[in-house]
Amino acid sequence: MSALQSNRFNSKLTSQCQSCSLSALCLPIALADEDVNRLDQIIERKKPLKKGEVLFHQGEEFSSVYAVRTGTLKTFNITNNGEEQITGFYCPSELVGLSGIDNNIYPISAKALETTSVCEIPFSHLESLSNQIPSLKSQIFKVMSRKICDDQQMMVLLGKKNADEKVASLLMNLSGRFKRRGYSAVSFRLSMSRGEIGNYLGLAVETVSRVMTRFQKNNIIQVNGKEVTIIDLPAMQKLVGIAEDCVRIDTV
Amino acid sequence: MSALQSNRFNSKLTSQCQSCSLSALCLPIALADEDVNRLDQIIERKKPLKKGEVLFHQGEEFSSVYAVRTGTLKTFNITNNGEEQITGFYCPSELVGLSGIDNNIYPISAKALETTSVCEIPFSHLESLSNQIPSLKSQIFKVMSRKICDDQQMMVLLGKKNADEKVASLLMNLSGRFKRRGYSAVSFRLSMSRGEIGNYLGLAVETVSRVMTRFQKNNIIQVNGKEVTIIDLPAMQKLVGIAEDCVRIDTV
DNA sequence: CGATTGCTTGAGTGTCATCAACTAGAGTGG
DNA sequence: CCACTCTAGTTGATGACACTCAAGCAATCG
């Protein structure tokens, strides 16, 4: 809690990272104040992306990872037959672009779903800074490890779940992410279209639509366009599979 | 930690890592000789696992990552309703357990598909060694990044591909991995059962069986139990989607 | 040797994709 | 301000792909 008040001990120069409301969730977590300042210095705040603008393109040379400040991004892969497969949605404080490290090329594109601002973190700088700050290095390991966990959960979803369970899982996942950022866990706005939801979940648009209206008829959720309210939480948890305990799907 | 540094120079003796045939694929890649020796010293060779034995259990405290030396592992997640979802197969030189870093708990179990020997790499040692050897740290970043890429490819497979494409993708992926280790790319032995293939690909056993016999009838592959030979490579590539260029599915 | 396990093959069914029509809302331009 | 277009979303009808159930075969094992 108190960690949320990021500049409680701040003294002299408060870095932007320290005054950022996301610092408790983002990369600076677990860093000493002076280390946050050093991290802060390698970060570039870019001007916000408009809806539909691309942050980086699949195939482009990898240079930076990005932390979302406000708004939402989607990442996607263009498959051989030209269709797009969405691989993730990214909310504020989440890190995009880690998959580019391996081959020094982004294997996916990242596009803004709404007006979105990001912090650019040049990876070469981050890497050398991580030589000097072991806790930063550990933090990067953790972030990457979590991404691997999340992706594995996603595989379970795609491989084993039916349409109802898929949609419920996405909604509950988003709910959890909003909650952790201090927003309502039961009432929120979807920044992605039905088509994007379907693409992401491996479902047709029509199926997504049908599932959501059915959920609504059964008083499980309340839907109004992009506005969603979760009404019957137990029902949702049951659909997701309750035991979400040891696993935290983070980057949907 | 001091133990790490002690034998740094006593290494006219070739380390096991250096004499290991996998060194060009495994973690030591891109390390200087003396660094390989230091890495070598934190590694424990465990006695081989028999088929069906578990390397680590889901929920267990995380301590080490493991490199496969010989044999094959599968990792899997027990879902809420008790069924198992296989999340990956691991061949020699590949690293298992990275997903445990985040929460300090293994979110999956790892089990031997056949007699399998592994190198245990205690993560705390690896992490501190990576403070001293920047290229080792970079290498870990890369390995984790590649895992993220691979998992994303897997999502595409699960979300967009039909049964034929799924099976073809798995076979071609295994083919590539055998090839890189110097084995035949067209003729190899599956160490996993049909059931495990189906589980992994999000298909029923019967479907896997049917697809493979159909492939055989169409002279695309030759199957005899677990022995597989790829006959019509172009057909397979077409099924997979050819443009496997920029993406390398590594850890299936 | 029977028993068990893994794999294959067949028949029937169900879930979800596809195709198509329709509605609502946003943006455009006369 | 009102058609007009365009897109996103919804709903219905139909069908395909893959799952389930069931039976049989082959290989391994106690």
B23-69 confidence digits (pLDDT tens): 888 888 888 999 999 999 999 888 899 999 999 999 999 999 999 99
Q: Is B180 on the interface with A (CB under 8 A)?
A: no
Q: Determine if residue A66 is left, alpha or beta; phi over 0 gives left, psi from -120 to 50 gives alpha, anything else beta.
A: beta
pLDDT category at A23 given cuts 50, 70, 90 is: confident
Question: Which of A4-18, B164-178, B237-251 has the highest mean predicted lDDT (pLDDT)?
Answer: B164-178
At residue B116, does pLDDT exceed 50?
yes
A241 vs A160 pLDDT, higher one: A160
Is the confidence at residue A70, as pLDDT, over 60? yes
**Averaged pLDDT of chain A:** 89
Residues 189-208 of chain A whose Cβ lies under 8 A from any Cβ of chain B? 199-202
Contact A110, A55 (CB under 8 A): yes
Residue B1: predicted pLDDT: 44
Q: Does B108 touch chain A (CB under 8 A)?
A: yes
Reported confidence tier of residue B16, pLDDT bands at 50, 70, 90: confident
Residue A7 has pLDDT above 70, yes or no: no
B-facing residues of A in 57-96 (CB < 8 A) are 59, 77, 79-81, 83, 85, 87
Instruction: Tell me the percentage of chain A whose pLDDT exceeds 90.
Output: 79
pLDDT at B23: 86
Q: How confident is the model at residue B9 (pLDDT cuts 50, 70, 90)?
A: very low
pLDDT digits (tens, 9 = 90+) for A176-220: 999 999 999 999 999 999 999 999 999 999 999 999 999 999 999
Average pLDDT over residues A82-110: 95
Asked whether the predicted pLDDT for residue B203 surpasses 70, the reply is yes
- When pLDDT is averaged across residues B160-186 and rounded to a whole number, the result is 95
End-to-end CA distance of chain A: 24
Band of residue A28 on the pLDDT scale cut at 50, 70, 90: confident
Residue B27 is predicted with a pLDDT of 87
Nucleotide closest to B206 measured between CA and C1': C8
Q: Report the pLDDT averaged over residues B193-205.
A: 97
Alpha-carbon distance of A30 to A28, in angstroms, equals 6
Whether nucleic acid strand D comes within 7 Å of the CB of B114, the answer is no
Inter-chain CB proximity A137 and B151 less than 8 Å: no
| Closest-CA distance of chain A to residue B134, Å | 7
A227 touches strand D (CB under 7 A): no
Please count the CA atoms within 13 angstroms of the CA of A210 that sit on its side-chain side: 7
From the CA of B185 to the C1' of C6: give the distance in Å: 26
Q: Look at residue A78 and give its three-state secondary structure.
A: strand
Tokens encoding A245? 């305990």
State which nucleotides on strand D lie below 7 Å from a protein beta carbon: 8-13, 17-22
Strand D–CB A22 distance below 7 A:
no
Grade residue A13 by pLDDT with cuts at 50, 70 and 90.
Answer: low
| A17-21: long-range contacts, CB 8 A cutoff, minimum separation 24 | A17/A43, A20/A69
A-interface mutation test, from B60, B96, B98, B99, most A Cβ less than 10 A away:
B99
* C-alpha–C-alpha distance, residues A192 and B39, integer Å: 46
B13 pLDDT more than 70: no
The reply to whether B155 touches chain A by the CB within 8 Å rule is yes
Structure confidence at residue A3 (pLDDT)? 43
Report pLDDT for A80. Answer: 79
Helix (H) or strand (E) holding A119: strand A117-122
The distance (Å) linking the CA of B165 with the C1' of D26 is: 28
